[in-house]
Amino acid sequence: MKLKWILLLLCTFSLACNSDAIKTEKAEESFTISNSENLEFLLSPGIPIEGGFSIYEQAEHFEVSEIQIKDKGVVYLYTPEAGFTGTDIVKIKREDSNGAEIYAQTITTIKINVTE
């Protein structure tokens, strides 16, 4: 009977430590810019050594929509396409890693209201 409990505990621990058990968090940011402005949103003041940032869902109405590394850290840059007014949405994924596996990710939805 003891052996069954030990085996059950080991299986439970093994499943809990599985790399498929990624913790996902969600965040939302909103900005309003004119269609002649650029948006620069600081994602991180430092450059991640493990893991990183990527565009999870791309905006629809852009001339520039990308992640760059600048002096101040990792930033998301957005320039609306000429003449566009309305709402554009982009989703940025950040994955945290210990070098061997990804253990957490954050999906940040950036809602950009573009006015004249």
Give the E-state strand segments of 1-116 in sequence order: 23-34, 39-44, 52-57, 62-70, 73-80, 86-97, 102-115
Kindly indicate the confidence band of residue 20, based on its pLDDT and cuts at 50, 70 and 90. Answer: low
pLDDT digits (tens, 9 = 90+) for 51-92: 899 999 999 999 999 999 999 999 999 999 999 999 999 999
Identify the DSSP state of 32. E
102 pLDDT more than 60? yes
pLDDT digits (tens, 9 = 90+) for 31-45: 999 999 999 999 999
